[in-house]
Amino acid sequence: MSMLNDFAGKIEVRPGFSSKAAISHVLFDFDGTLSLIRQGWPEVMLPMFQEMLPRVPGDTEPEVREMLWEDMMRLNGKQTIYQMIQFAERVKERGGIPQEPLGYKHEYLRRLNQRIQHRIEGLQTGRLQPDDLLVFGARPLLDLLRARNLPLFLASGTDEQYVKQEAELLELTPYFGPHIYGALDHYQNFSKKMVIDRILRENQIPGAQLLSFGDGYVEIENTKEVGGLAVAVASDEAHNGSGQMDEWKRQRLFGVGADLVIPDFRDAKPLLNLILGHTT
């Protein structure tokens, strides 16, 4: 695959990968795929769960941590409430009396907002530039997609009001227009699968014409289920621009069927050439 010679950074390609010139619509996850405003969220959620989980005889802290981490990351990309529902189940199976999942979610968001408030304020005051909090190379990729007149959609497991606010602060709204979707209070009324189904239905396209970018299980699995092409962004969020893949993301996302795995968008032009099967 000679096109790979054009890549300056890392890329991993699934054996048997083939380009899809028919791609007509593009879906992006938000946190960790485009936005770094919420970078570090696992370091908020995991300690909260560790603090609140009842212990049982035989527990070791490393095992508890690994169990909770696996629960969190398996549901990464779904609405936050699902991680809280899973945690409530863990509390119950250990003989505890869980709170309502919504109560856990509110406490998590309170703690997370404390962590990220300086980033929000930095963008609002101009102390930080939007691209400071975008995954490396994201805007040039969005510009290239827009230049090809490919409609762009954004779907996030974060509450929709926050996604829209943060997309605005990052100057992403013009790329997606009305197609920014996030978690709803009635969580049964939103999922990334529902967004994908809606894109296919309203635009009368087969799944094979959908391209998605994400750093979580859910968007990768949902895209592959309809026959689309899925690019896993194994972003090293804590070291944005390092060009290194997050190894945990790389292994898990390749494992659920990603066609390509990249660390960031530094190779936006050759990446699109590879995906679409032609050069520009």
- pLDDT of residue 2 exceeding 70: no
Q: What is the pLDDT of residues 75-98, one digit of tens each?
A: 988 899 999 999 999 999 999 999
Burial state string for 139-162 with b = 16 or more CB within 10 A and e = fewer than 16: bebbebbeeeeeebbbbbbbbbeb
Residue 269: half-sphere exposure toward Cβ, Cα within 13 Å:
5
Average pLDDT of the chain is 95
DSSP label of 50:
H
Cα(71)–Cα(206) distance, rounded to whole angstroms? 32
Q: Which two tokens stand for residue 48?
A: 């909260």
Q: What is the pLDDT of residues 247-266, one digit of tens each?
A: 999 999 999 999 999 999 99
Q: If you average pLDDT over residues 200-220, what whole number do you get?
A: 96
Q: If you average pLDDT over residues 97-122, what whole number do you get?
A: 97
Q: Among residues 240, 268, 235, 238, which one has the least CA distance to residue 250?
A: 235
Q: Which two tokens stand for residue 75?
A: 């549901």
Q: What is the pLDDT of residues 143-170, one digit of tens each?
A: 999 999 999 999 999 999 999 999 999 9
- pLDDT of residue 1 exceeding 80: no
Query: Which pLDDT band, with edges at 50, 70 and 90, does 15 fall under?
Result: very high
Cα(280)–Cα(278) distance, rounded to whole angstroms? 7
The predicted structure's pLDDT at residue 185: 81
Which segments within 215-264 are labelled E, that is strand? 229-233, 260-262
Q: Note the residue count of the chain.
A: 280
Q: What is the pLDDT of residues 185-196, one digit of tens each?
A: 888 888 999 999
25-28 sheet: strands from edge to edge: 12-13, 260-262, 229-233, 210-214, 25-28, 152-159, 180-183
- pLDDT of residue 274 exceeding 70: yes
- pLDDT of residue 280 exceeding 60: no
Q: What percent of the chain has pLDDT over 90?
A: 91
The predicted structure's pLDDT at residue 66: 97
Q: If you average pLDDT over residues 220-236, what whole number do you get?
A: 96
Query: Which pLDDT band, with edges at 50, 70 and 90, does 279 fall under?
Result: low
Phi, psi (degrees; rounded to nearest 5) at 40: 95, 5
| pTM recorded for the entire structure | 0.93
Q: Which domains does the chain have, with CATH numbers?
A: 2-36+134-276 (3.40.50.1000), 42-125 (no CATH)
